[in-house]
Structures are given as C-alpha cells and as structure tokens.
Amino acid sequence: MISVHRDMKILTYCLLAIVFLSPTVRGAEQKKNVLFIVADDLRVELGCYGSTAHSPNIDALAKQGLLFQHAYCQQAVCNPSRSSFLTGKRPDTLRHWVNGTHFRVKNPNVVTMPEWFKKQGYTTRNVGKIFHNWHTEVKGDRQSWSADEFLHYANHGKDVPAPKLLLDQQNQATSRHCFRYDVPDDAYYDGQVANEALKVLSEIKNQPFFLAVGFWKPHAPFNAPAKYWKNNPVGGIPRLNPARPKNSVEWAFHDSRELMSIPPKQFTFTQDDVRAMRQGYFANIEYMDAQLGRVIRELDRLKLRDSTIIVFVSDHGYQLGEHGLWAKTSCFELDARVPLLIVDPSGQGKGKQTQALAELIDLFPTLVEMCGLPARNDLDGKSLVHLLQQPEKPHRSGALTQHPRPAYYDRTEKGIPDAMGYSIRTADVRYTEWRDWETGKILGRELYEHRTDPGELNNTVDNPGAPEHLATAIKELHLLVPTSVPPAKR
C-alpha cells in the first residue's frame, strides 16, 4: 500500500509538472503586452524606407521587427481610417466615410481592438490621438479603455505653446501653417503625450496591457520646436514635382481645403510657402520620432521589451504638393500607402522586410493571434502572423482604398456623396474606379503601372502597357466591391 501511495504521489507530481510547464499554460500565465503606436498624417517618409527624413528611433525599431513595404490604409482621412483598423472592418462595412461623425453613431455595438483585449483581462489605456474624436457629438470611447483617455480630444489648431513660452520670441518660419519657436518638446501635444505614456507605463507594468499611444504629428500645423527645423534644411528635402498625371480624370482630385482653405476664399501658396511647409513636415517627423524614442527607452528601462509586441503605424499617407494636391483624401499611392512595423519580442521577423500587400484592417486579427486571444469571425481583416515567420510569402492579391467625392460631403448642403472611388493596389498596378453614388455607374477610371510609373504620373487605362495586369486588377477590385451594388446601398 505504501508503494502504491508513493507511486500515485509521484504520478500526480508528474502530471502537474506537465500541465504547468506546457507551452499553453505558460502562454496563459505570461501574456504578451501590446504597445500600439499611431502617427498622424505620416506618409512613407522615414529613413528605414529610404527617405532623407531623420527618424533614428523608428529606424531602430525597423531593425528589430518586420517592416512592411506595401501596407495600405482603407481611407486616407483620420476618422474613417482609424475607425476601420481599430474595428477590423472596412469603411463600407461601418458605413463610415467622414471625419465629423463618431463611429459608434452608426455602429453602437461594434467591438474595437482595445475593447476585445479588455474583455480578455487586459488593462487597456489610451494616451493621445487614437480614435478621431474632436468636433464630434461623442467625446471618447470609454468602453474600449480601462481608464479615461488622455489628450485624445482636441483640435490640431490648438496645439500651440503657452504664451509665457513665446515671450520675446519671433516666429522663424514666416509662412502659412509654419511656426518655428525655440520651445521645449512638451510645449506641444506630442511631448505631453510622451510624458503621459511614461507615467502610464509605470502604472501598468505589472499587468498584461494594451497601451495605445497616438502622436499628433506630423499633421499640420508645421510647428516642431526650432531644433528639429535645423536638422532638416531645405536643401535636404526632395524637390517637388507638382504635375497632375497625364490623361487624369477630374474625380481623382480635390480642392486641398485642409491647407488651402475653403473655396471661394482659397489662397495660393508661394514658392516660399511650399518650401517651408515641406521642410516643416520633415521637422514634424523628427519631432514625433524623438517622442516615440522616449517611450521605447522607458519600455526598456522597465524591462518590458521581452514581453511586449510593438506596432508602429500611420493612419494614412499625405501629399505635399505632388499631383497638385495638399494633405489627404485621394486614392493615389502617396495617400494610401503607410509605414507599418511589427516587433515581436520572440524575434520573429527581426530586421526583415516583406513585399506582401497588407491592409490596416489586418492589424486587429494579427494582434489577437499573436497574444493568443480568442479569434473573432466578424472581421474583414486577416492575420499577418504568417509573414513574421515567412516574410517572402504573399498575403493579399490586392489592397483596397476608397474615397467619396466630395471628400467632405457631410459638410455640403446635399449631405451625400456624388461618387465613391474604389482603388485596388496589386503587386503591379493601382487601378481605380469612380462610381456614381446612387447608380453605381462607372464615371471614370485610372490605371497607374508601378513598374514603369511609380510616381503615378500617367493614367494608361485606355492604353495599358501590360493589359494582363489591368485585367487582374479589375478582377480583384470587382471581387471586393462588385459593380452590381451601388455605393449608396452597400
């Protein structure tokens, strides 16, 4: 009996050891954290992407994770883009295409990415601009977060230093939208966001967390502290080609009202304005990068790097006079393509790049899988995890971006769009159809063949150099957005 009892005891200990030392249980005990960093209006203009921009901290992240060369937003304007990737759903699924309406007005029960993490026992915190909440009837999204949001509700025009910091100072960048003052980094929102992110990290370091840090730059105004302008002289900024594409369709363009004001009171930029704004955009990038670096260094100081997934992404791209356009809301590559980095603490994908097509709606299922959370079957995105393991593999055959015309139709007397542009990016081309809002009739088409025209300066839809690439793109677009249903009825 003693021998049997001893053997049973040994067997019990062995079974317990197997259970508690199994990868599944260890994974449950050691949940991965998520540091989710979002930039505002940042096109693919970083050193790690071959730009002359100064971005040493983001470049360092690129060496530690997987860099996506072809990641695309679903709409190049803040609210629709953020609402899309934070819910894993396309703008058409959400019926959400404008800045001035909170996503929950039409989707009160939709589950956001941080909300899903919160439901799985994570502490979820928001510092800075993550959702786009200003000038809306709903301020914030408390159900997504474990505590009140910080500096999430504001206006970019109010991102100015306190008057006491400007005593005896003169603006050194005397051009439209440009301000160059010798002030501390935390005179502006992004420095304050970094300060708060450091504070929050110290508060949540001992619990599984999803920390979203939203920087407000490089969004206009171009007002980074003076030291960042010095590092970005005009001579180091690429020369501007403002030409519209040959054979272009008028639907492709907009009035650039974000920076040029609303017709009929628009103003024309001088060459000095253009140079200053382009320089200021690069200064804003370096300023934002410096604040990001502070957050990453604090993560290291707290010894959280080995347990934390880091994502860096922009909500959409930007035009700095290219195609005759300023700001965003077009279907061109400069608007649609975004920087995306994923750093896995296990080292998967470290220092590698992928050419695979990715969409920002893919981030929700990706992080769910990386953290071992229950999957959701109601998302439009699909996980990118396999690319961390095999970056050379394909992911999507096409990436979809869309825009209504007018871009800000909700501010018109009519209150509805005239048209919706659907643009598909394949490995070879960008193909766009502008469809009548009510009928779905195709009003205009564009084809830009990226192997020979990476700057999208020649619409060859009527005479393609590679007809097979056009045929493939049309097929991909129509699979995602069939012509049988007009945009108004989607």
Residue whose token pair is 């003693």: 2
CA distances from 301 to 170, 175, 279 (A): 38, 41, 33
Supply 186's token pair.
């935390």
Q: Which residues contact 368 (CB under 8 A, 6 or more apart)?
A: 116, 374, 375, 376, 383
From the candidates 96, 132, 156, 219, give the one annotated as an active-site residue: 132
Q: Is 31 left (phi over 0), alpha (psi -120 to 50) or beta?
A: beta
Residue whose token pair is 């939203």: 214
Residue 78 annotated among the catalytic residues of the structure: yes
**Rounded to an integer, what distance in angstroms lies between the CA atom of residue 360 and that of residue 475?**
22
The β-bridge relationship of strands 66-72 and 337-343 is antiparallel
**Rounded to an integer, what distance in angstroms lies between the CA atom of residue 360 and that of residue 81?**
8
Question: How many C-beta neighbours within 10 Å does residue 164 have?
Answer: 6
From the candidates 78, 178, 331, 371, give the one annotated as an active-site residue: 78
Supply 84's token pair.
């899309």
CA distances from 156 to 218, 294, 382, 475 (A): 11, 22, 33, 40
Residue 323 annotated among the catalytic residues of the structure: no
**Rounded to an integer, what distance in angstroms lies between the CA atom of residue 127 and that of residue 213?**
5
**Rounded to an integer, what distance in angstroms lies between the CA atom of residue 250 and that of residue 34?**
43
For residue 236, the Cα-to-chain-centroid distance in whole angstroms is 26
Q: Is 175 left (phi over 0), alpha (psi -120 to 50) or beta?
A: beta
**Rounded to an integer, what distance in angstroms lies between the CA atom of residue 297 and that of residue 35?**
13
List active site positions.
Answer: 78, 132
